[in-house]
Structure 1
Amino acid sequence: MKVIAAEERQSLKTCISPAIITRVRDFGEADLLVTFFTPERGCLKGVARAARRSRRRFPNCLDLFCLSRVEYAEHPRGGELHTMISCRLLDGFEGLRRDWSILTLAGYMVEVVEMLSPPQAADPSLFSLLLRTFKLLEGEIQPLHVQIFFEAAAMALGGYGIELGRCSSCGRTYEGLGRAAFHPEKGGIVCLRCGSESALNPGLDPLGVQALGHLQALEWDLFERMTLPREMAQAIERVNRRHMDYRLGRRPKSLAWL
């Protein structure tokens, strides 16, 4: 990747945006290569010059998963590598670092966002979802519940919502009177007249179908009040996993560590 020369940088368009820092690695002798997720431009990459040598322009604001106010200069020829000018910490999300499993779950969420959001494509709803779920992970809600909420909501925002209102095979309206099986290739539930439950086609009871519908609809206030039995949460997780495997085509690497 080519770093922009100083004289060239002066004519560049400068942008300021809140951003979630998603990846950081060494770049050259003193610079950092930073990937950050913004509401207006999606996932971007930038070089923070001399960030490893001096903290004056980047004081404690480039840690993984922190929310920062990033000032950056766009690449003059529309390239993918921008120049980070300065950065200010808005929220360090210290609660994410209290437990390795919580930190790993945050990394998993970031991977899902990267899979759903093309580089440099605006996605303010997905940005808000990631920000809100980071805050939930810092609270008292069970991590598994936050995970299934994030998965269902993220897939719905990405255009991959699960059809829950009718049988995806015969088209009959689902009245919530019996169990249903999820079929990944159909992208929705089927009644037990049209299909059966299996490891590949996990099932949900009526309350599980209803709960998954609330999660997909991003009903924040209701979610924070919901009390999901562990068995129901695990059933929804199985449905989410089969759905994401089929629609996304691959699994996030961090899923193996959850």
Structure 2
Amino acid sequence: MASGSRRLRSATLVRSAALLLRRTPIREADLVLELLSSALGRVSVVARGARKSQRRFGGALEPVHELMVEMEERGEGLGVLVAAEIARPRFGVIEQLGALTAAGRALAWVREVAPPRVPEDAIWSACQELLDALDRGVAGTALEREAATQVALASFGMQLIEALGWGLTLDECVACRRPCPEGQAAFVSARRGGAVCRACGGAGLVIGGATRARLLGLSAGGALAAEDAEPAIALVEETLRVHAGLSG
């Protein structure tokens, strides 16, 4: 999506693709919106009159859809939303509870850990990839669809911690640098930054050998299996707690 900016008196008018991370009511008619924008990163803006009239922003202030917004950026202060429209609707996410729940969880991670006012192309791209995958969905039983949703969320989480510079070392012990035997389970500590062998005290979650191999393969375009989702999500959330104090 194209983005750009131009000077508007004491503010800069910025046009950017964006995702809605959170909306908070203030006063009688306004909303404070936290956005992840492709141009500016995570920013907060006030949407004046948004609570009083749905027509004010055309019903565009909803999560998961890709938005195109215009906002007055005012340095360190709260920006002002000038216009918003849905650029890419994702009704497939909204219509499936599991997909909507996963999307909400992912966007909550981003809201808590993405640096303010710093464009992060890798985080933006990972969000788009996840939401598009959830929007497409997969054919199959309810259990198969839920498994695919959790795999997508886990893959996103691993991309997120890599983008933030918090990726985990999974092929060797972070303390002694002894390689982890192929196919063998390993202790993985988010606090210590990756695998920790028994000789170095072990620590953290036990990750099975097959899961560890598939996690290592993600950076080369590999995919996770359904059984990998739960331990991968646990690793992601522990990493976010260690580095950013993720709540929950």
TM category (shorter chain) comes to 0.7 to 0.9
> 5 Å matches for 1:11-22?
11-22=10-21
Q: Secondary structure at the match of 2:187?
A: strand
1:179 aligns with 2:176: no
**What is the alpha-carbon distance in structure 1 between the residues aligned to residue 45 and residue 231 of structure 2?**
40
Deviation at 1:62, TM superposition (A): 0.7
**What is the alpha-carbon distance in structure 2 between the residues aligned to residue 120 and residue 10 of structure 1?**
21
> 5 Å matches for 1:46-125?
46-75=45-74, 78-125=75-122
What is the letter of the counterpart of residue 189 of structure 1?
A: A
Residue equivalent to 1:135: 132
What is the letter of the counterpart of residue 150 of structure 1?
A: F
Q: Answer whether contact 1:61 1:92 (CA < 8 A) is retained.
A: no
Q: Answer whether contact 1:70 1:87 (CA < 8 A) is retained.
A: yes
1:169 aligns with 2:175: yes
1:250 aligns with 2:233: no
Deviation at 1:161, TM superposition (A): 0.4
Using a 3 Å threshold, how does the CA distance of structure 1 residues 233 and 30 change in structure 2: closer, same or farther? closer
**What is the alpha-carbon distance in structure 2 between the residues aligned to residue 193 and residue 176 of structure 1?**
18
Q: Secondary structure at the match of 1:70?
A: strand
What is the letter of the counterpart of residue 239 of structure 1?
A: L
What is the letter of the counterpart of residue 243 of structure 1?
A: T
Q: Answer whether contact 1:57 1:85 (CA < 8 A) is retained.
A: no
What is the letter of the counterpart of residue 171 of structure 1?
A: R
Residue equivalent to 1:214: 217
2:235 to 239, 245, 258: 239
2:205 to 198, 202, 219: 202
**What is the alpha-carbon distance in structure 2 between the residues aligned to residue 242 and residue 21 of structure 1?**
25
Structure 1 regions of 5+ residues with no counterpart?
Answer: 1-8, 254-258
Using a 3 Å threshold, how does the CA distance of structure 1 residues 205 and 42 change in structure 2: closer, same or farther? same
Residue equivalent to 2:30: 31
Q: What TM-score comes out, normalization by structure 2 length?
A: 0.82
**What is the alpha-carbon distance in structure 1 between the residues aligned to residue 112 and residue 194 of structure 2?**
21
**What is the alpha-carbon distance in structure 2 between the residues aligned to residue 36 and residue 47 of structure 1?**
11
2:153 to 142, 147, 150: 147
Deviation at 1:104, TM superposition (A): 2.7
Using a 3 Å threshold, how does the CA distance of structure 1 residues 244 and 11 change in structure 2: closer, same or farther? closer
**What is the alpha-carbon distance in structure 1 between the residues aligned to residue 188 and residue 226 of structure 2?**
20
Q: What whole-Å deviation, never above 9, does each CA across 1:149-204 have from its counterpart, x for those lacking one?
A: 111110111110001221112212234142211123321113344445xxx62222
Q: What whole-Å deviation, never above 9, does each CA across 1:25-59 have from its counterpart, x for those lacking one?
A: 33333322222111221111112222334445511
**What is the alpha-carbon distance in structure 2 between the residues aligned to residue 22 and residue 169 of structure 1?**
37
Aligned pair count?
Answer: 232
Give me the identity figure in percent: 23
Deviation at 1:129, TM superposition (A): 0.8
Structure 2 regions of 5+ residues with no counterpart?
Answer: 1-7, 139-144
**What is the alpha-carbon distance in structure 2 between the residues aligned to residue 155 and residue 178 of structure 1?**
23
